[in-house]
């Protein structure tokens, strides 16, 4: 009995290690209509046919995975995969699986329209954005059709605003007071502690840490503009910029109260505070109102956007000292640049691949008030120059919100905040794509941020083992005494990265481990050496940025081509069995198919006889 329990436990652990061999898992439900399908390798298959809804529509794939788009919302689907051989024969098929695409979000905007598109200049991909005024995030294709949406009920106060799509396929976002990393199913993979009060932004770095902004309140004297009837000491609202590790431990922080002078403030917001005081209550003076933090690891600089000072600040990550401030000099004790670049109440400061700073200038209180994107070059000698700008038309003026993203084709994606517009422009400031989102066909839906990604799957992959025998249902095998296996790894994602491959025994001990770098949408061939002192092996492969996305295959080396009676020898008995197989038209036996043509004939008898002789 104990031995039986031990064997069952061992098989259970093996099955856990092998993971989900079929994706999507049977009976899955999705808030997306772009789906990644994966299935176990079918031996001798030249390609695969994927049948949906009993052959209602089909796809072909040269490898054992595929991304399929454009499933209808609010429908259920079945899918079945068959391996096709070199003579267009069906080798075998897997059992049918099923999945469901949910209804669209109940608050999905009624009017999502692409007003303009230049197909030749549009940066390929889908657009991730937040429908801020509707409390959830979504992804759309270039024609405005929904591809994915978040389940805002999984997050604090039923609200989630996406801020970043990660290379591991997860999404960063925030809800009132809390930052999250979550997957496409809106399952939370990381969330900040409730000891923080996050606002506006959260960003994940390449070293798996998280930067965010937290509100900080301290009591300080009322500024000089305060009339005598107001309190001498009031509450000032500043910001802390915080970096935490994956366990939530603070590893870096920077507080505006520690590094900025209290003499650096915008009188406009003192007037706003006094007006609120006159109205009643005990308001907080909105001193800084920061709205983005961006850590550039190459430069070793943290860039923060401080809206109410109309300022962008560069902070040395190592020393925490201010390298420079850029913006309105009226609120600045030390002026670093000759040119202030005349921006006001900006949002979303980022660094381009050229190491220029790009941000959304809201243009608040300017004459005229116009919003624009601004790109500025800078160097350590405090030389700065306006490289590019794009001024939005008056109807896209947004006094808050907004973002500018530089795309791979050098176009720029611009979110025009409260106007419900997102535009893509080229270097000549020509609009190549224009999205308009309204509710009830009238009310603009606020879109704070947007990001162009190729698809929902940046790091999906599959692999194929050559000279593999057997099957998923009846065990995979390689030939007896093989000292290596030859494997193709296919990187189907849009991220070029390293893939780790491990060979394990059936007790999950690592026998060997190595990695290979594979460009996006490319493949690499590897050889994995086999220690023949074992019989059962597991090949485990995963992208270096996400070990949890591993794929694996269990196989043994007990197969000997021609060994029909499975005694690990080839002799006259096997010839007799093959002849009987032919005469009696028995079920196909792979070990008797010496020429691997998916049939048993006199040719296989001749080949086996030559081996014995």
Express each pLDDT in 51-63 by its tens digit: 999 999 999 999 9
pLDDT band at 589 (very low <50, low <70, confident <90, very high): confident
Dihedral sign for Cα atoms in the order 178, 182, 186, 188: negative
Query: Which fold would CATH assign to domain 560-612?
Result: Type 1 dockerin domain (1.10.1330)
What per-residue string of b and e applies to 533-558 under the rule 16 or more CB within 10 Å gives b?
ebeebbbbbbbebbeebbbbbbbbbb
- Does the structure show a pLDDT above 70 at 444? yes
Q: How confident is the model over 395-426, as pLDDT tens digits?
A: 999 999 999 999 999 999 999 999 999 999 99
Q: How confident is the model over 12-26, as pLDDT tens digits?
A: 334 434 557 899 999
Residue 45 half-sphere exposure toward CB, CA atoms < 13 A: 26
Percent of the chain at pLDDT exceeding 90: 80
Region 525-531 average pLDDT: 93
CA distance 9 to 507: 11
pLDDT at 535: 81
Percent of the chain at pLDDT exceeding 70: 96
Architecture of domain 1-103: Sandwich (2.60)
Q: How confident is the model over 167-194, as pLDDT tens digits?
A: 999 999 999 999 999 999 999 999 999 9
pLDDT band at 79 (very low <50, low <70, confident <90, very high): very high
Q: Does domain 463-556 have CATH number 2.60.40.1930?
A: yes
Region 77-99 average pLDDT: 96
Return the closest-CA partner of residue 22 out of 94, 87, 85: 94
> How far apart, in Å, are the Cα atoms of 360 and each of 292, 374, 424?
11, 6, 14
Please tell me the least confidently modeled range out of 463-477, 496-510, 514-528, 567-581.
Answer: 567-581
- Does the structure show a pLDDT above 50 at 9? no
- Measured torsion, CA atoms of residues 178, 403, 379, 386, in degrees rounded to the nearest 10: -160
pLDDT at 70: 82
Contact 455, 536 (CB under 8 A): no
- Does the structure show a pLDDT above 90 at 581? no
Rounded to 5°, angle at Cα 49 from 46 and 50: 145
| CB within 8 Å of 567: residues ≥ 6 apart | 573
- Does the structure show a pLDDT above 90 at 496? yes
Q: Where are the domains of the chain?
A: 1-103, 111-453, 463-556, 560-612
Q: How confident is the model over 238-264, as pLDDT tens digits?
A: 999 999 999 999 999 999 999 999 999
Residue 481 half-sphere exposure toward CB, CA atoms < 13 A: 4
CA distance 8 to 20: 19
Question: What is the residue-averaged pLDDT of the chain?
Answer: 92
Region 588-604 average pLDDT: 77
Query: Which tokens hold the place of 13?
Result: 């652990």
Instruction: Give the chain's largest Cα–Cα span.
Output: 111
- Does the structure show a pLDDT above 50 at 486? yes
Return the closest-CA partner of residue 411 out of 76, 89, 118: 118
Architecture of domain 111-453: 6 Propeller (2.120)
Give the three-state DSSP class for 136.
Answer: strand
Distance linking the first and last C-alpha atoms of the chain: 48
- Torsions phi, psi for 330 (to 5 deg): -60, -25
- Does the structure show a pLDDT above 60 at 297? yes
Give the three-state DSSP class for 448.
Answer: coil
CA distance 411 to 422: 13
Region 203-207 average pLDDT: 95
Query: Which tokens hold the place of 397?
Result: 């003026």
- Does the structure show a pLDDT above 70 at 10? no
pLDDT band at 566 (very low <50, low <70, confident <90, very high): confident
The reported pTM is 0.91
Region 546-561 average pLDDT: 86
Three-state secondary structure along 229-294?
CCCCEEEEEEEEEEEECCCCCEEEEEEHHHHCCCCCCCHHHHHHHHHHHHHCCCCCEECCCEEEEE
- Does the structure show a pLDDT above 80 at 576? no
Please tell me the least confidently modeled range out of 128-137, 208-217, 311-320, 533-542.
Answer: 533-542
CA distance 476 to 441: 57
């Amino acid at each position: 009995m104990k031995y039986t329990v031990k064997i069952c436990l061992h098989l259970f652990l093996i099955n856990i290690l092998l993971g989900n061999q079929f994706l999507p898992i049977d009976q899955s439900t999705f808030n997306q209509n772009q789906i990644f399908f994966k299935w176990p390798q079918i031996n001798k298959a030249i390609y695969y046919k994927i049948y949906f809804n009993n052959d209602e529509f089909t796809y072909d794939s040269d490898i054992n995975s595929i991304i399929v788009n454009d499933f209808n919302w609010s429908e259920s689907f079945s899918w079945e995969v068959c391996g096709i051989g070199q003579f267009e024969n069906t080798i075998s098929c897997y059992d049918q699986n099923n999945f469901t695409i949910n209804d669209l979000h109940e608050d999905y905007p009624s009017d999502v329209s692409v007003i303009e598109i230049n197909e030749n200049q549009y940066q390929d991909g889908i657009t991730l954005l937040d429908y801020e005024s509707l409390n959830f995030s979504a992804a759309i294709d270039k024609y405005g059709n929904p591809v994915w949406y978040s389940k805002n009920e999984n997050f604090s106060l039923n609200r989630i605003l996406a801020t970043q799509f990660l290379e591991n396929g997860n999404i960063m976002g925030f809800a009132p007071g809390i930052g999250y990393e979550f997957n496409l199913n809106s399952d939370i993979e990381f969330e900040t502690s409730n000891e923080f009060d996050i606002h506006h932004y959260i960003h994940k770095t390449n070293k798996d840490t998280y930067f965010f902004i937290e509100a900080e309140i301290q009591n300080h004297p009322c500024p000089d503009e305060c009339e005598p009837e107001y309190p001498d000491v009031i509450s000032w609202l500043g910001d802390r910029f915080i970096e935490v590790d994956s366990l939530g431990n603070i590893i870096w922080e920077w507080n505006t109260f520690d590094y900025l002078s209290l003499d650096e403030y915008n009188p406009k917001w003192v007037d706003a505070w006094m007006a609120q005081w006159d109205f009643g209550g005990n308001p907080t003076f909105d001193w800084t109102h920061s709205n983005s933090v961006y850590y550039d690891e190459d430069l070793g600089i943290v860039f923060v956007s401080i809206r109410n000072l109309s300022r962008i600040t560069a902070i040395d990550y190592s020393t925490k000292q201010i390298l420079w401030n850029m913006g309105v000099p009226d609120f600045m004790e030390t002026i670093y640049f000759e040119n202030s670049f005349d921006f006001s109440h900006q949002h979303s400061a980022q660094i381009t691949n050229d190491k220029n700073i790009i941000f959304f200038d809201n243009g608040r209180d300017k004459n005229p008030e116009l919003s624009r994107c601004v790109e500025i070059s800078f160097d350590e000698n405090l030389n700065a120059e306006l490289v590019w700008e794009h001024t939005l038309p008056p109807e896209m003026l947004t006094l808050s919100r907004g973002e500018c993203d530089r795309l791979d084709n050098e176009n720029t994606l611009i979110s025009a905040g409260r106007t419900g517009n997102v535009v893509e422009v080229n270097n000549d400031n020509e609009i190549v794509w224009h999205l308009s989102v309204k509710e009830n066909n009238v009310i603009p839906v606020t879109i704070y941020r947007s990001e162009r990604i190729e698809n929902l799957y940046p790091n999906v992959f599959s692999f194929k083992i050559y000279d593999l025998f057997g099957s998923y249902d009846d065990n995979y095998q390689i030939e007896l005494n093989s000292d290596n296996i030859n494997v193709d790894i296919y990187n189907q994602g849009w991220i070029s990265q390293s893939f780790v491959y491990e060979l394990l025994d059936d007790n999950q001990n690592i026998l060997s481990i190595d990695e290979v770098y594979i460009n996006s949408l490319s493949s690499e061939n590897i050889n994995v050496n086999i220690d023949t002192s074992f019989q059962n092996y597991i090949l485990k492969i995963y992208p270096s940025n996400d070990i949890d996305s591993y794929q694996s295959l269990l196989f043994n080396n007990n197969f000997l081509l021609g060994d029909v009676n499975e005694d690990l020898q080839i002799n006259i008995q096997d010839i007799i069995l093959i002849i009987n197989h032919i005469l009696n038209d028995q079920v196909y036996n792979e070990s008797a198919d010496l020429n691997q043509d998916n049939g048993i004939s006199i040719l296989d008898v001749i080949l086996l006889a030559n081996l014995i002789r």
